[in-house]
Chains A and B, each alone.
Chain A
């Protein structure tokens, strides 16, 4: 079986466009990206099977039939993508409802830990009352810093 070059190029374009959109902050664009990626994957599945006539006994000679299995798998994948699209749309709508936009937000708790690290305080030691927090000062700070750098680098704007 020789793969069809047109298919391969189309799959590449779909996946590339999908990945680009996936990297956006707006959930609607992410959703578009997911759909394009899904279609790219489906087309790739189709490329894996033999092309030919309709795989129905009596209409086509078995030698000339296309491979029905990838088509069945694509159908399943399309149904799953449909459900996921609906769910993501609902998420985006709810996010817009709550915040007035549908942008993917940063993890608040992550930021808080990072701020603690910058102020050179271990988590949970700020208001130790009972005096049992011995040894809390070195470990957490050392552990928090690498994580904090990552968060900082990933901050938008």
Chain B
């Protein structure tokens, strides 16, 4: 059974190699990518079931025994993250295939998209599964390098400008992470997470604080925590819609995952709890104020993304079981919802020709289906009951009230204000883009929109230009709809899901299940 643990990393990498060989054959590429990602979803689901029944699953890569070799560990947290991210990547892949087919990208050199996308998936899975600090670094690098390529696809002027900032900031965070790894190794002589658990405990407090601070800094940049978040709204919105969607859903959450893992497993005791709580409230409030000021849907969503990272830090900073479990629940919710919203924004861009709020209007009348696809996840993000966003925030606030400290109450206030302002920002998008009378230069119906697209587009449309379905292809609607439904399903299964996240949080706080799984005979 344990060999399954390696598959979410190995399969996408092999798939990437195969799609690279099939460079000139987009049809074959699509099928390979679809098969690989479907299999990844299946394997991740199996891992989740197995790890919640039998405890963490461990595989020693290459057969080298634990402290010498690298281990991949699928505990409940990692498996849960794997399932959600695999499902989301699959939906986004279908969406991008739909978009590619509608735009006639068959002959364009963008066929490098599939290998890169699969490498990105492999990197994300590797980061989740890694039981070794350096392997975590490698996972980060794999996903970052793939993301550099995806962000600058087509290398237009705007993407090069945005890509430059993104690449340099990411490189800086990688260097900080590498320096932190060097310091950890120099002071403990190991990088295996389970072995670090014991060795770090014997270090002097000040030294531990330095190591913890370095790691937090590196992961904070990746997770876009407030003072380190300026790069995100600058770079994400310029990428193609599916790329932005998958970045928004997954990349920052990998950073959050790394923060959760190191804060609970390596540095328990909450010495940085105050720091985390303060940055959490700043991230929430400053992020959402930024969102309120925006006049472009994609940028607005990028700012809400930053803002809601604050909720996750909020849960981690409380260091209680309930807080941690609510944070994990929130991560799952937010991956799904944020991706859905960016996919919907991509559809808005196709239908209205832009995502700038002053150029849109009347979309609810022009395209009711699109309106539903945006409205439901938008309310979910704002935390309207009974959606999962409400349940996640409720859990966090409950945990804060249990905590009872002054800072916790400030966070409750900050969380509520942020939630309200999110509703305001989302309502503004709704008012301007979906209500109002349609803007004069907006295409009046789907046929006109298609005509406008064909005129403006560089590539000639692949026939059938007059058909209504051509503007919003079924293959783009279906995955968005699937994610909307998944977001709703999170409400339906909220009970079991919260039980699962509580189990995961308890295991994280006890630390022994993880260590025992890696070293069944006791740590060396």
Q: Residues of A with Cβ closer than 8 Å to B?
A: 1, 3, 22, 27, 30, 34, 37-38, 41-42, 44-45, 47-49, 69-70, 73, 76-77, 80, 83-84, 87-88, 91, 94-95, 98-99, 104-105, 107, 109-110, 112-113, 116-117, 123-124, 126-130, 132-133, 136, 139-140, 143-144, 146-147
A130 to B439, CA, bound (A): 9
**Which of A1, A47, A112, A129 is packed against the most chain B CB atoms within 10 Å?**
A129
Q: Closest B-chain residue to A48, C-beta based?
A: B186
| B185 nearest CB across to chain A (Å) | 5
Whether the pair B160, A123 counts as a contact (CB closer than 8 A) is no
Residues in B166-209 with C-beta less than 8 Å from chain A: 167-168, 171-172, 174-175, 178-179, 181-183, 185-186
- A87 with B145, Cβ < 8 A, contacts A129-B436, A132-B436 known: yes
Q: Closest A-chain residue to B156, C-beta based?
A: A98
Whether the pair A143, B290 counts as a contact (CB closer than 8 A) is yes
Whether the pair A45, B185 counts as a contact (CB closer than 8 A) is yes
- A129 with B439, Cβ < 8 A, contacts A22-B168, A94-B155, A147-B293 known: yes
A22 to B299, CA, bound (A): 26
Which B residues are in CB contact (< 8 Å) with A147?
289-290, 293
Q: Which of B174, B186, B436 contacts A47 (CB 8 A)?
A: B186
A104 to B361, CA, bound (A): 34
A126 to B359, CA, bound (A): 11
* Interface membership of B161, Cβ < 8 A: yes
Whether the pair B432, A110 counts as a contact (CB closer than 8 A) is no
Whether the pair B164, A95 counts as a contact (CB closer than 8 A) is yes
Which B residues are in CB contact (< 8 Å) with A88?
167-168, 171
Name 14 extra pairs, CB < 8 A, besides A73-B181, A144-B293, A147-B289: A41-B178, A41-B179, A41-B182, A45-B185, A49-B186, A80-B145, A87-B149, A88-B171, A123-B295, A123-B358, A132-B431, A132-B432, A132-B435, A143-B291
| A36 nearest CB across to chain B (Å) | 10
- A123 with B293, Cβ < 8 A, contacts A88-B167, A94-B160 known: yes
**Which of B155, B164, B174 is packed against the most chain A CB atoms within 10 Å?**
B164
- Listed by A's residue number, 11 A-B pairs whose Cβ atoms lie within 8 Å are A1-B186, A3-B186, A45-B182, A87-B145, A91-B163, A109-B296, A112-B295, A113-B294, A129-B361, A132-B436, A140-B292
A3 to B138, CA, bound (A): 26
Q: Which of B134, B152, B174, B432 contacts A124 (CB 8 A)?
A: B432
A49 to B163, CA, bound (A): 36
Q: Which of B160, B292, B435 contacts A98 (CB 8 A)?
A: B160
- A87 with B148, Cβ < 8 A, contacts A70-B185, A124-B295 known: yes
Whether the pair B293, A113 counts as a contact (CB closer than 8 A) is yes
Whether the pair A139, B432 counts as a contact (CB closer than 8 A) is no
Which B residues are in CB contact (< 8 Å) with A116?
295
* Interface membership of B157, Cβ < 8 A: yes
Whether the pair B436, A45 counts as a contact (CB closer than 8 A) is no
Whether the pair B185, A143 counts as a contact (CB closer than 8 A) is no
Which A residues are in CB contact (< 8 Å) with B234?
107, 110
Q: Closest A-chain residue to B185, C-beta based?
A: A48
A69 to B51, CA, bound (A): 31
Which B residues are in CB contact (< 8 Å) with A105?
161
* Interface membership of B506, Cβ < 8 A: no
Residues in B299-327 with C-beta less than 8 Å from chain A: 299
Which B residues are in CB contact (< 8 Å) with A113?
293-295
Q: Which of B179, B296, B362 contacts A44 (CB 8 A)?
A: B179
Which A residues are in CB contact (< 8 Å) with B294?
113, 123
* Interface membership of B357, Cβ < 8 A: yes
Which A residues are in CB contact (< 8 Å) with B357?
123-124
Q: Closest A-chain residue to B298, C-beta based?
A: A109
Closest 9 CB pairs of A and B: A123-B295, A48-B186, A130-B436, A144-B293, A124-B357, A143-B292, A45-B182, A143-B293, A44-B182
Which B residues are in CB contact (< 8 Å) with A69?
185
* Interface membership of B428, Cβ < 8 A: yes
| A118 nearest CB across to chain B (Å) | 12
Whether the pair B164, A104 counts as a contact (CB closer than 8 A) is yes
Query: B110-141 vs A: 1/0 string, CB under 8 Å?
Result: 00000000000000000000000010001001
Q: Closest B-chain residue to A84, C-beta based?
A: B171
A21 to B40, CA, bound (A): 42
Q: Closest B-chain residue to A83, C-beta based?
A: B145
Query: B361-389 vs A: 1/0 string, CB under 8 Å?
Result: 11000000000000000000000000000
- A87 with B167, Cβ < 8 A, contacts A110-B234, A128-B436, A132-B436 known: yes
Which A residues are in CB contact (< 8 Å) with B134?
73, 76
* Interface membership of B267, Cβ < 8 A: no
Q: Closest B-chain residue to A77, C-beta based?
A: B178
| A2 nearest CB across to chain B (Å) | 11
* Interface membership of B437, Cβ < 8 A: yes
Whether the pair B431, A133 counts as a contact (CB closer than 8 A) is yes
- A91 with B152, Cβ < 8 A, contacts A30-B168, A98-B157, A147-B290 known: yes
Which A residues are in CB contact (< 8 Å) with B293?
113, 117, 123, 140, 143-144, 147
Whether the pair B160, A104 counts as a contact (CB closer than 8 A) is no
**Which of B148, B168, B289, B293 is packed against the most chain A CB atoms within 10 Å?**
B293
Whether the pair B168, A34 counts as a contact (CB closer than 8 A) is yes
Q: Closest A-chain residue to B145, C-beta based?
A: A83
Whether the pair A48, B182 counts as a contact (CB closer than 8 A) is yes
A84 to B234, CA, bound (A): 21
Which B residues are in CB contact (< 8 Å) with A124?
295, 357-358, 428, 432
A116 to B160, CA, bound (A): 26
Whether the pair B292, A139 counts as a contact (CB closer than 8 A) is yes
Residues in B237-266 with C-beta less than 8 Å from chain A: 237
Which A residues are in CB contact (< 8 Å) with B436?
128-130, 132
Which A residues are in CB contact (< 8 Å) with B172?
22, 34, 37
Whether the pair A38, B164 counts as a contact (CB closer than 8 A) is no
